[in-house]
Amino acid sequence: MGKYEVKLFPSYSEDNLWVRKMPDGSYKIGITDFAQQQLGEVNYIDLPEEGDSITKGEVFGSIESSKAVSDLIAPVSGTVSEVNEEAIDDPAITNRSCYDNGWLIAIEPDNWDAEVAELMSADAYKAFLETQE
């Protein structure tokens, strides 16, 4: 058991974001437990708006914690269908519940199957975390 929680269902990027097709059919993006522990208490989140498009590998927003701003790199491409207002109002929810209530945005993916295939599974991400630090 590592010191970072890695959930079974999402797929993971090397930028420490997760994406997941949720049981309700939506496609959500959030930060991993490793990311939130590295960041420390999140105090501001800048996210795109509903209807904006995001492109895999490009910046789509940023997170501020302890005087550090970290850009968020899109793990997949798509159009933003929902923004988690709760996370904007209470940014530290991404620390408390990074895989659930602390999700960031939901998207309508452009090319889900192909792009997700390029991401890591839970096991691969665990192995990736071993190589960090």
Partner 1 sequence: MITKIQTYISQAVNPYHNLAVEQYLLEHVEKGCCILYLWQNQRTVVIGSNQNAWKECRVTALEQDGGFLARRLSGGGAVFHDLGNLNFTFLVREEDYDLERQLQVIGTACRNLGIQVEKSGRNDLTVDGRKFSGNAFYHSNGYAYHHGTLLVQVDTEMMGKYLVPSKAKLESKGVKSVKSRVINLREVAPGLTIDCLKKELLSAFSQVYCLEPESLSADAFDEEIIEQYFRRNQSYEWKYGRKIPFTWERDKRFPWGEVQIQCEVNQGIIEDILIYTDAVDCEFPAAAANVLQGCRFYREDLEIRLARLKMEESMKRDILELLTE
Q: Compute the distance between CA of residue 69 and CA of residue 3 in angstroms, rounded to an integer.
A: 24
Classify residue 125 by its DSSP letter: H
Binding map of partner 1 across residues 81-120, x = CB under 8 A, - = no contact:
-------x--------------------------------
Contact status: 65 vs partner 1 (CB under 8 A)? yes
Q: Compute the distance between CA of residue 83 and CA of residue 128 in angstroms, rounded to an integer.
A: 28
Position among 22, 55, 59, 108 found at the interface with partner 1 (CB under 8 A): 59
Nearer to partner 1, 38 or 81 (CB): 38
The minimum distance between CB 16 and partner 1, in angstroms, equals 11
Phi–psi pair at 6, nearest 5 degrees: -125, 120
Q: Which helix (H) or strand (E) holds 80?
A: strand 78-83
The minimum distance between CB 99 and partner 1, in angstroms, equals 22
